[in-house]
Chain A
Amino acid sequence: MVALARKTLIHEWRRFVPAILAVGFAGLLQLLQAALVLGIFGSASVYITGSSADLWAGYPGTQSVNLGRPISEDVAMRLRMDPDVVKVEPFRWVDADWRGPRDTGGVSVFVSGIDPRPDGMMFSRALPQALRARLNEPGAVIVDKADLDSLGVNIGDTAAINGQRVRVVGVSSGLRALGGVNIVASLETARVLDIDPVDAGRMTYFVAKLRHGVKPKAVANRINGSNAFGPYTVWTAKAFARESSLYWMFDTGAGAGVLFLAGIVFLVGAVITSQTLIAAVIGSIREYATLNALGVGRGSLRKVVMEQAFWVGALGLICSIVIGLILLEIARNRSVPMELHPLTAIVCLALSMALAIVSGLASVRSLRRADPASLLR
């Protein structure tokens, strides 16, 4: 079989470039948008994803990790009683006000009080061991290096949180928060910074590590079964992280925005691609009509056009993957929160291919003009 679709695509590549670019940019926009949204809203759950705990226990019905309330110490006991739990660690969340040495005005900060021991679960993925050890010093705090400017400090400077003196002992990366600035401190420092009498020394969460090979979901369900130790809810780390990200996504309306933008991108891409493909069909309409005169059926001609659409889609996808990877790499080097899972990437790319196919279907209709009788005039 003569590869008419491919040969035409190569020979008349200039004609097809707009369509390939349209598919490519549509794919790229979807990919970057998804990566950006997942990255930004993923940072809502950095406390969970940056830690190695399997289970989180907190105030019942908490919708996002930043909305926790103090819970009873008894919950830690309940967690420890479970045979599959090997370790339990408290986590203290303090909403606080930051005053830096430079004029920055008030900055709303989230203090994370964690166990600074080297084998601690909280932020085990975001803090190197040496840095973590420095939290043992009273009043020591760690911030994300991208937040230094907004906090108006450098490493070694002192500042005030809720009126208490703290000192920045180091910076890390991957600690950026949504709607404020994350400050990591030891449990002891956090206790001092917490001036809300309601909290009265109580912890916000207890996180737990499970025996190796145990399914967290099953354990969470088991522990959620009773209320004997006071009100609490237990989530698996994965579920809680997801819940936190989704809460932010829909609370800010960003979820709807993303879908709306995806729709617009799809529409614009489809219009450009279909117009280009239609122009290509019309450009060869006399040749198609001749083939039809020679007895090549309409169905076969449609297949040629659809094959062309498929190749336009495939080339567009290659464009979006290559440019997307480059941009993602640049974003990573500049601490832009971007995150892309293979599944999300596949969905975005599948959407772009669907765009090409839909455009192909739209351009197939213009084959009706391939009337062989019109060649006789």
Chain B
Amino acid sequence: MATVAATPPSNTPALQAKDVRKSFVSGRLQSTVLHDLTLDVHAGELTLISGPSGCGKSTLLAILSGLQPADTGQVRALGQDLSGLSMRALEAFRLQHTGFVFQGFNLFPALTALEQVELPLSYMGLAKDVVRKRAMDSLEEVGLTPRMRLLPAELSGGEKQRVAIARALAKQPELLFADEPTSALDAANGQIVIDILHRIARTHGTTVLCVSHDPRLVHHADRVLAMEDGRILSDHVPPTASVPSPLQAEGLG
């Protein structure tokens, strides 16, 4: 799996959703959040899903990342069908291949920045020195080396989100999912986080799927999907993508 993802054939989507339907029941009311949605997300791209709240974009992210099963339809991630996997198998898949960045930073108050990043790595069966090196490298990549011994309470919001990104990045995932990563941040910090996500997609070849309604992100995305009422309304390349990705042409199909 890792080798497949490390050199993805550019025409093979990293994530595929086919006729995915998801409904939630509250009381007697059944509301359909995703209507037979079909979607390909291309490898090595920063794909942005935007839309008003309640349009189903977070549910789509949860299904594509294997956090939630779809009611019907098929989900393939890195060529693997996620639909039939058990909870344990999904956990194993996520441990090996995915990173997450959430709107809340969700850092353990008792751990330093370095330990936050090391924690998930230590469950991957890596040697201790590998864990340490990867964690330091990731923190360096997000520019937090000088602050890696600090606790979350001693970090600013933007720094906390960068720790959260480093935590996801250190796993060296093929897939990185980000849910509203900038909405709790001010303009400057939001910009820093956007730049980092952008760079991850470019330099690591990571497939970044980002859900956000932050307009600043649009210009950094390789592809923007606009969602409403559980359907994809538009699928376009933003006009001013800052640096053209080598994969972008194929990605657009």
Where the two chains meet, the residues of A that have a C-beta atom closer than 8 Å to any C-beta of B are: 1-2, 4, 7-8, 10-12, 284, 286-287, 289-298, 300, 372-373, 375-377
Kindly identify, within residues 117 to 158 of chain B, every residue whose CB is under 8 Å from any CB belonging to chain A.
Answer: 118-120, 122-124, 151
- Report if A290-B100 is in contact (Cβ < 8 Å); known contacts: A1-B122, A296-B95, A372-B67: yes
Question: Is A4 a contact partner of B111 (Cβ separation < 8 A)?
Answer: yes
**A375–B103 Cα gap in the complex (Å)?**
8
Residue from B61, B91, B92 with most neighbouring chain A CB atoms (10 Å): B91
Question: Is B110 a contact partner of A376 (Cβ separation < 8 A)?
Answer: no
Instruction: Among A7, A298, A373, point to the contact of B110 (Cβ < 8 A).
Output: A7
Say how far A2's CB is from chain B's closest CB, in angstroms.
Answer: 5
- Report if A294-B167 is in contact (Cβ < 8 Å); known contacts: A287-B108, A376-B179: yes
Question: Is A295 a contact partner of B120 (Cβ separation < 8 A)?
Answer: yes
A-B pair number, CB within 8 angstroms: 95
- Report if A373-B111 is in contact (Cβ < 8 Å); known contacts: A286-B106, A290-B106, A297-B88: no
Question: Is A294 a contact partner of B98 (Cβ separation < 8 A)?
Answer: yes
Residues of A within 8 A of B110 (CB): 4, 7-8, 10-12
**A284–B98 Cα gap in the complex (Å)?**
22
Contacts A372-B100, A373-B68 given; 8 further ones with Cβ under 8 A? A11-B151, A294-B99, A294-B168, A295-B93, A296-B119, A297-B95, A373-B67, A376-B211
Question: Is B122 a contact partner of A2 (Cβ separation < 8 A)?
Answer: yes
Size band of the interface chain B makes with A: 35 or more
Query: B73 at interface (Cβ–Cβ under 8 A)?
Result: no
Where the two chains meet, the residues of B that have a C-beta atom closer than 8 Å to any C-beta of A are: 58-59, 61-62, 65, 67-68, 87-88, 91-96, 98-100, 102-104, 106-111, 115, 118-120, 122-124, 151, 167-168, 171, 179, 211
Name which residue of chain B comes closest to A10, CB basis: B110
Question: Is B106 a contact partner of A375 (Cβ separation < 8 A)?
Answer: yes
Instruction: Among B96, B104, B151, point to the contact of A375 (Cβ < 8 A).
Output: B104
Question: Is B62 a contact partner of A376 (Cβ separation < 8 A)?
Answer: yes
Question: Is B115 a contact partner of A2 (Cβ separation < 8 A)?
Answer: yes
Question: Is A294 a contact partner of B100 (Cβ separation < 8 A)?
Answer: yes
Residues of B within 8 A of A373 (CB): 62, 67-68
Residue from A4, A289, A294 with most neighbouring chain B CB atoms (10 Å): A294
Residues of B within 8 A of A7 (CB): 108, 110-111, 115
Say how far B100's CB is from chain A's closest CB, in angstroms.
Answer: 5
